[in-house]
Amino acid sequence: EPEDHRSNFEKLKSSRWDHSTFDEIEPISILPEKAHYKVSFSRRTESGEAYLTGEIIYIASKREGRWAVCARSILRYQVKAKQ
């Protein structure tokens, strides 16, 4: 059964999370119909403190003239201890 993303979002909202940022975007492979990017990201508190950082690969493809993310894979993440 497919995962319910709404319940995951509710869990995220009940944590310290306020917003996320893409801290660095590195193109890995760019082709006319497909692109791979390595993205460093952070989950942040309302005050802007990063409490989780990680890296993820996004793969986007162009179909019928429209670009869309078709796959992603988390490479690593690290949760920082509460202070």
pTM of the model: 0.77
Residues 31-80: pLDDT tens digits? 999 999 999 999 999 999 999 999 999 999 999 999 999 999 999 888 88
Determine the Cα angle at 10 with ends 9 and 13, to 5°. Answer: 85
Residue 83: per-residue pLDDT: 61
Residues 14-41: pLDDT tens digits? 788 999 999 999 999 999 999 999 999 9
Strands (E), the chain: 19-30, 34-44, 50-63, 66-79
Residue 69: per-residue pLDDT: 95
**Residues 6 or more apart from 54 whose CB is under 8 A from it?**
40, 41, 42, 74, 75, 76, 77, 78
